[in-house]
Amino acid sequence: ARSVSVIGIVIFTLLAGVALLKVKQDAPQEGEKLSAGINAIQIWVMKMVRIVIALTPYGVMAFMAGVFSAYRFEQFASLLGFIAACY
């Protein structure tokens, strides 16, 4: 797995923003269309994120059910003591 450089993402985003500003100056109609498209994509991505966030508790519950079904209760007794001590 390769690590992604944050500085590369920042530089790319900066260049994309400058290019969008140049397009808006040179061709205002096309620049507005491009800006509206980017806004639509942002709204779409945020809707997907909200769906994932809404479904996360069910995923955690399913994961925990799988873990609890794979082991006996005696194996969780010491873990329950640790959890109680943490709270």
What does the pLDDT look like over 2-44, one tens digit per residue?
A: 777 889 999 999 999 999 999 999 999 999 999 999 999 999 9
- pLDDT-derived band at 59, boundaries 50, 70, 90: very high
Among candidate residues 81, 18, 2, the one with its CA nearest the CA of residue 10: 18
Give the pLDDT of residue 1: 56
**16-21-22 Cα angle (round to 5):** 95
Write out the two tokens for 79: 């873990």
Q: Quick one: the chain helix, strand, coil %, rounded to 5?
A: 90, 0, 10
Residue 83 or 20, more confident = 20
Write out the two tokens for 14: 């900066």
Mutual angle of helices 6-26 and 28-70, in 10-degree steps? 150
